[in-house]
Amino acid sequence: MVTMRPAGATADDLAADPVYDRIYEAILEHRLPPGTKLPEEKLAAVFKVSRARVRKVLARLGNENLIGVVPNKGAFIARPTFEESCDIFEARRALEPAIVRRLAKRATPGDVDRLQQHVEAEYQARAADDRRPVIRLSGEFHNLAADLAGNEAMARPMKELSALTCLAILLYDSPTSTTCRPDDHAHIVAMIKAGDGEGAAEAMTGHLAAIEQSMSFEDKTAPVDLGAIFS
């Protein structure tokens, strides 16, 4: 099978990289707000790696649209505009029902177990009132479903969209906004387990609509300390 990759990416760029993983996780956990500057020298010192290694990670994040580079100023975490945020949700509404529809047709008992274990971890994080894991697990549920669906052309953009959604929520959160609700995820998993692709797709569509409708499009970002985030 041919592995699809972003334009300009090499096999090495797609390999597991702890520096990339930690930055991606920090985005999912809302620890890296939109607009945060990512200086190569600072990141190299924080992660104790070479600037060349950092440059590769930043290039990969750039290929995934998670950072932008401003000439003569450096790399910054992406800041989705109102219009871009609407586009992100529109893309998810088109992609994710197809993902869970496909997964419902091919999920093994082991796949269902993994999804159920993930939902249980979400419930446990909520019970512990541990906000960062709640946020990260919410996003990772969607990535896991895409991975289990077995279509790399779906899974790759899903990972990008999950992180971009986290950035949009950070920018446009509201007092009534909520992360993904584990009850919603549990319902989607139940549809997948039953082999009900249309039911899973309908549940996913409603789930995404509820998140988008709870958002308030006002910028609420604040300065951050990279050293503190990755210490």
Average pLDDT over the chain, rounded to an integer = 87
- Rg (the chain; Cα; Å): 18
pTM, full prediction = 0.81
pLDDT tens-place string over residues 9-43? 444 444 579 999 999 999 998 899 999 999 999 99
Whole-number pLDDT of residue 182: 76
